[in-house]
Structure 1
Amino acid sequence: MRTKGACAPALHSQSRGGSCHPPSMIFKYKPSFRFTNQPWAPAAVQCICNPVPCPDPAWDRIMALTSPSLHARAMIFGCLVVLLSFLAGSAQAADAAEWRRRSIYQVLTDRYAYRNGTDEDHAPNCEVELGLYCGGTWRGIMNNLDYIQGMNFDAIWISPVVKQLPQRTGDGEAYTAYWAQNLYELEPHFGTEQDLRDLIAALHSRGMLLMLDVVVNHMGFAGAGDECDYSVLYPFNDTKYYHDYCEITDPTSPLNTQSCWLGDWKVSLADLRTEDAEVQDMFGQWISQMVANYSIDGLRIDTSINVEPEFFPNFVDAAGVFATGEVMQGDDSLACQWADAIGSILNYPIYYTLTRAFSNSEGSINDLVLTIESVKENCPNSTSFGSFSENHDVARFASLTDDLALAKNIITYTMLADGIPIIYQGQEQRQFGSIHPYFNRAPLWQAGFNTSAPLYEHIAILNKFRQHVISGHDNHTEYMAEVIYQDMHSLGLRKGFNGSQVITVLNNNGQDCAYFELEVSGHDYAPGTVLTEVLTCTNLTVSESGNLTVPMFAGTPKVLYPLELLANSSICGMHEAEEPLPSATIMTIDATSTVGGHVTTIETVETSPIPPITTHVWSTISGLPTVVPSVMNPEGGFTAITKLITTTQAPTPQATPATTSTADSSAEHSRKALGAGESLKPKSNLVLSAAGLAGAASSLDIADAAASVTASAFDRWHGHGHGHGGHFHRHFGA
């Protein structure tokens, strides 16, 4: 394949028209040769004079002042300068290994930040169902990079940038930028050429990468396919570049989907003959210029499944950067045909089973596990796939469930399992909306750039943790995640080589789920290893038998990593290796009351300036236990928020004298709370004086609370809770 290289003309907001080009170099790419970090390199370079003169006054003046020999020397010198610039840029280009280290924030340009990104208060209401431009721009993105980087993302993916069909159609306007009409001009709705360059420069100055969305399957025309005016499509402005018009009637047939047209009678998407050598060459020229002129770091290739896989190797080689393809196919054995050709695809096979598994508590974990194993078997490069749970083409996860715990679980999988994590703008704000009529594309500025949103903070922690792991272990991203635990509702994953493996435990029980414990093996950590749960900053220790008891509460995910490897990470306050993590930040108090006959609820708040511990208190008064969840105060104490609930079926626990053993009292009491067939392991204990609980006893109006109690000081989070006959007992994390 012969493609024009970096000294080809730049793209401009306004085309000069015609076929004029200044002198350009011709590059031949040799995919088998590895140059620096690139899977390709110029095998031969030829600088030629384009015989077509350019109507450029500055160039004409230069030529007029030089002799033919000087003219030739100037041309050669210019080519050499551009060649050196091209080679310097290519040496720094990000390959698949570099992209695996990154995490991507997907930006729908028209819907991220209004105008310059600082006047959202004056933005008109965006009626997303109309499918019109809403005013987002490249400069708006640039002025709101702090918001993205605040979640610790180090790459963004933006919508296509080329000029779109200008009409308002029955399907709306081309705000998503997938209806291109001129590949050599920029879409003015998004800004100027300088705006785009400034955005890319701002990203690179922050150490961030840019992934550009491109389309090679089709061009856009406002009207029916059998009435297409090809002359308005550039550079493919002739019928010879297109398949004859036909509708896709069999989405399962590659021949039908790759030869017929997408769209409808309002907007037809003219299907290009990508199997044709001339079309391939024209695409190669365009993408090599685009990447070189704008310092693009990677590509997302739209509608890849509608293009034969054989097209992509030369196209990706011409681009010279990492690319991932959109292959909306749940069958991984089929999808991975494109992965082999492109090098990466968006992981739709995992997406479909992942969302089914975590959109409700009845989702199938087993189906997800089967898909994980199948993708690993059929797609050897799956660690370079795009890992996602939302994008602009699928329903928002929040439209499937409003359960925050489930959202945290699916995002945790997206961020820490195999692949390059991709989070779609607004996912961190729990924006909701179905595919039609495109409510999943509502402007982010309407939701607000809330940096305190729970999922914003959750993503920030996961990104920071992932970056820390990768920074210390370059090959972490190459390791294919293994399933080490599975039941109907829970999933345990191990990713990473021995000594630095990340253990991720997920579940689809939802936020209303009570406490339970999982015994996880297969993690390959030695007995006595202390692991930190990085989302709650608490520690767990591998037992002498090699098992890891993982406490699960309120449906939240758990992420475990060796305590010693968090040194100097700032994660969980670990600035130095010798700094210990805080002890468990849970306090539970059980008490009884004589209230009966009907359910009674008493809510009180009490603060006690003692270290975070877990305590068990019993009164001589009959009735139900009182559950006292607690949260840490900045001063180091805890705030107890009490709810007393009693029923006529309340059991009457025995009066508990002061003792230094919880094995025969709290454990027995807890076994009753858990019900038949469930158990609670007794914990180590610590004596706490009655004075330390005086405030709590007073607030509960319990006059005869035990004079002294036994408390357990844990080096890890723990607790339990299931409801049985109106009797419950839980430990709450801060």
Structure 2
Amino acid sequence: MHLPLAFCYLLAHITTSLARSPDEWRGRSIYQILTDRFARTDNNLTSPCDVSKNEYCGGTWKGIEQKLEYIYDMGFNAIWISPITKNIPTGYHGYYQTDLYALNENFGTEQDLKDLSDALHERDMYLMVDIVTNHFGSVENDPSVDYSQYYPFDDESYFHPYCEIDYDNQTSAEICWLYSNLPDVRTEDQNVIDAYSTWISQLVANYSIDGLRIDSVKNVNKASMPPFCEAAGVYCLGELSNNDPDYSYPYQQVLNGGGIINYPLYFSFNETFIYNGFSSTEKLAYNIYLDRNNSIDSNFHGTFTENHDNPRIACHNPDMSVAANAIAWTILTDGIPIIYQGQEQHLAGGDDPGSREAMWLAENGSYDNTSQLHNTTAYLNQIRTWTVQHSEGYTHYKNVVLNYSDTQIAIRKDVMRFILTFAGVGQPRGTYTTIGGGFSPNSSVVDVINCKAYTANSAGEVTADVGGGAIVVMMQADFIKGSEMCGY
């Protein structure tokens, strides 16, 4: 049933005290869920899922709710779920919507979604929902699209004529179609802007949504985003797959001071750490510098090393220590960390759709809460949570690169200094001395990953043991007292 737009408009202006601002998201750690591929309502761990068929495999909102303890026990305090609106029959991922005011029945009922939201908030966890404003989906290609199937944009006049995108031209990127079966919405049209604002206000209120991940932001009219995010009243995180910091970071202003999915850092980190040194630590250090200086606030961006659109880390580099270092980077560096489902189980799927495996069929054990990477993820989240709670500056501090070598990089993040490596488990044993570490002179310092104690020299520098691909995370001993880390 569709609600009259006038009534929807009234509902849209009922605000809720639960609306979450970007500042309230700073200390969060997000677990990204592809709803159809995470957990089934019946908890069937053998139900087949052939990713090559691009079809529904049975994951639901109720399935997510039943697995919340698995997520919560890893230290995550927010989840991001797939788009929730009605889709075409092959829209298992949620990005081919047809009706803004109807839910995707393959994922569950309205009550199921509300139950999931309630279960999250009972655990003080946030709900982020993926949103699509750029396009709708069709089973037919242009010019055979049936526009009458869409709601509320049920006429061809709401959409741009078909054209292929020239990504060297921003206007083309905003008015042309991603694919010939994805009609591109006229997001520059004021009637469209108003309709989207009305809808998102109601959606956020109805399901107590705390944040939005907005798909294909670089393909929508920039002027449409500020009123959309203002109407939503929650943190907006925009997706634009672009490795250019000068192009990407200014979108933070477009998103009302929210953040972007940080593809510039994703590309520079993964090219250095994952693709066997395809890039260099020097380039990574430079990109960290750009992130620090080009963003309004780099701690509002979403930091990630895996997602549903790109090959898994283990697909390119199966070394377990490299995977662990990537998770450490994601959780400890600037930004709001996002770990994609299955990253903690070392899944190794290739490019889309290969990286959209069903969690219940994980080769290393479905929802295994004893696996090495699961435990590493949980402990890193524990470190971050303690630091967020006990250092007011941590979620505002911007990364400073202390020094780097061909295979390692040392970074200061407020009270924390960490050393990461892509050398793998075969990395020779040795030592690594910080430059500009900034510890209190002659203070006791603890590597909380390996539980090794050091004493800073009179200049506040520490020489730490490294090797075997191990992560090093150092903090002063007096800061971690009471944390239960390494017995403190």
Structure 2 partner of 1:487? 405
Deviation at 1:451, TM superposition (A): 0.7
Deviation at 1:196, TM superposition (A): 0.5
Structure 1 partner of 2:419? 505
- Residues 264-663 of structure 1 aligned to structure 2 (within 5 Å): 264=180, 268-342=181-255, 343-363=258-278, 364-436=280-352, 438-447=353-362, 448-496=366-414, 501-574=415-488
**Cα distance between partner residues in 1 of 2:150 and 2:59:** 25
The one-letter amino acid paired with 1:533 is D
Deviation at 1:17, TM superposition (A): 6.8
Deviation at 1:252, TM superposition (A): 2.4
Q: Pick 1 or 2: higher relative contact order, CA cutoff 8 A, min separation 6.
A: 2
**Cα distance between partner residues in 2 of 1:425 and 1:212:** 15
Deviation at 1:367, TM superposition (A): 1.0
**Cα distance between partner residues in 2 of 1:102 and 1:471:** 11
Q: Is the 8 A contact 1:361 1:510 kept in 2?
A: no
Q: Is the 8 A contact 1:414 1:421 kept in 2?
A: yes
Q: Is the 8 A contact 1:517 1:550 kept in 2?
A: yes
Q: Is the 8 A contact 1:360 1:406 kept in 2?
A: no
The one-letter amino acid paired with 2:277 is E
Deviation at 1:463, TM superposition (A): 0.4
The alignment's TM-score, normalised by the length of structure 2, stands at 0.96
Q: Is the 8 A contact 1:360 1:510 kept in 2?
A: no
Q: What SS does structure 1 have at the residue aligned with 2:117?
A: helix
- Residues 196-207 of structure 1 aligned to structure 2 (within 5 Å): 196-207=113-124
Q: Is the 8 A contact 1:216 1:301 kept in 2?
A: yes
Deviation at 1:177, TM superposition (A): 0.5
**Cα distance between partner residues in 2 of 1:411 and 1:252:** 33
**Cα distance between partner residues in 1 of 2:405 and 2:191:** 54
Q: Is the 8 A contact 1:108 1:159 kept in 2?
A: yes
**Cα distance between partner residues in 1 of 2:8 and 2:389:** 44
Deviation at 1:460, TM superposition (A): 0.5
Deviation at 1:409, TM superposition (A): 1.3
The aligned length equals: 482
Q: Is the 8 A contact 2:420 2:471 kept in 1?
A: yes
Deviation at 1:402, TM superposition (A): 0.4
**Cα distance between partner residues in 1 of 2:440 and 2:141:** 66
Say if 1:511 and 1:522 are closer, same or farther in 2 by CA, change over 3 A.
Answer: same
Q: Is the 8 A contact 2:103 2:110 kept in 1?
A: yes
The one-letter amino acid paired with 2:443 is T
Structure 1 partner of 2:45? 120
Deviation at 1:345, TM superposition (A): 0.3
Q: Deviations over 1:666-715 (max 9, x none)?
A: xxxxxxxxxxxxxxxxxxxxxxxxxxxxxxxxxxxxxxxxxxxxxxxxxx
The one-letter amino acid paired with 1:104 is I
Say if 1:387 and 1:314 are closer, same or farther in 2 by CA, change over 3 A.
Answer: same
Pair 1:257 & 2:208 matched: no
Q: Is the 8 A contact 1:103 1:420 kept in 2?
A: yes
**Cα distance between partner residues in 2 of 1:26 and 1:215:** 18
**Cα distance between partner residues in 1 of 2:203 and 2:484:** 40
Say if 1:93 and 1:375 are closer, same or farther in 2 by CA, change over 3 A.
Answer: same
Deviation at 1:291, TM superposition (A): 0.3
The one-letter amino acid paired with 1:477 is T
Deviation at 1:308, TM superposition (A): 2.4
Deviation at 1:19, TM superposition (A): 5.8
The alignment's TM-score, normalised by the length of structure 1, stands at 0.64
**Cα distance between partner residues in 1 of 2:381 and 2:225:** 31
Structure 1 partner of 2:92? 175
**Cα distance between partner residues in 1 of 2:253 and 2:232:** 17
Q: Is the 8 A contact 1:388 1:414 kept in 2?
A: yes
**Cα distance between partner residues in 1 of 2:98 and 2:430:** 57
Select the residue among 5, 10, 20 that pairs with 1:24: 10
**Cα distance between partner residues in 2 of 1:396 and 1:340:** 31
Q: Deviations over 1:711-733 (max 9, x none)?
A: xxxxxxxxxxxxxxxxxxxxxxx
The one-letter amino acid paired with 2:153 is F
Deviation at 1:544, TM superposition (A): 3.3
Q: What SS does structure 1 have at the residue aligned with 2:136?
A: strand
**Cα distance between partner residues in 2 of 1:222 and 1:503:** 51
**Cα distance between partner residues in 1 of 2:462 and 2:266:** 29
**Cα distance between partner residues in 2 of 1:560 and 1:547:** 11
Deviation at 1:25, TM superposition (A): 6.0
Deviation at 1:16, TM superposition (A): 4.4
Q: What SS does structure 2 have at the residue aligned with 1:566?
A: coil
Select the residue among 12, 26, 33 that pairs with 1:107: 33
Q: Is the 8 A contact 2:34 2:93 kept in 1?
A: yes
Q: Deviations over 1:117-164 (max 9, x none)?
A: x3324x2x1111111100000000000001101110000000011101
Q: Is the 8 A contact 1:360 1:508 kept in 2?
A: no
Pair 1:190 & 2:107 matched: yes
**Cα distance between partner residues in 1 of 2:11 and 2:337:** 37
The one-letter amino acid paired with 1:317 is E
Deviation at 1:556, TM superposition (A): 1.4
**Cα distance between partner residues in 2 of 1:16 and 1:272:** 20
Say if 1:256 and 1:20 are closer, same or farther in 2 by CA, change over 3 A.
Answer: closer
Deviation at 1:538, TM superposition (A): 1.7
Say if 1:407 and 1:239 are closer, same or farther in 2 by CA, change over 3 A.
Answer: same
The one-letter amino acid paired with 2:98 is Q
What are the ranges of 5 or more consecutive residues in structure 2 without an aligned counterpart?
none
**Cα distance between partner residues in 2 of 1:337 and 1:545:** 38
The one-letter amino acid paired with 2:386 is H
Q: Deviations over 1:353-376 (max 9, x none)?
A: 100110155341111111111122
Say if 1:559 and 1:435 are closer, same or farther in 2 by CA, change over 3 A.
Answer: same
The one-letter amino acid paired with 2:372 is P
The one-letter amino acid paired with 1:24 is L
Q: Is the 8 A contact 1:309 1:337 kept in 2?
A: no
Q: What SS does structure 2 have at the residue aligned with 1:271?
A: coil
Deviation at 1:26, TM superposition (A): 7.3
Q: What SS does structure 1 have at the residue aligned with 2:20?
A: coil
Identity, in percent, stands at 38
Q: Deviations over 1:495-522 (max 9, x none)?
A: 11xxxx1001112211111101111121
The one-letter amino acid paired with 1:120 is L
**Between 254-263 and 375-384, the greater mean CA deviation after superposition:** 375-384
**Cα distance between partner residues in 2 of 1:287 and 1:17:** 14
Structure 2 partner of 1:244? 161
The one-letter amino acid paired with 1:378 is N
Q: Is the 8 A contact 1:102 1:155 kept in 2?
A: yes
The one-letter amino acid paired with 2:339 is I
Q: Deviations over 1:293-350 (max 9, x none)?
A: 1100000000111112221110000000001000111001011231211121000000
**Cα distance between partner residues in 2 of 1:384 and 1:341:** 13
Structure 2 partner of 1:216? 133
Q: Is the 8 A contact 1:106 1:423 kept in 2?
A: yes
Q: What SS does structure 1 have at the residue aligned with 2:270?
A: helix
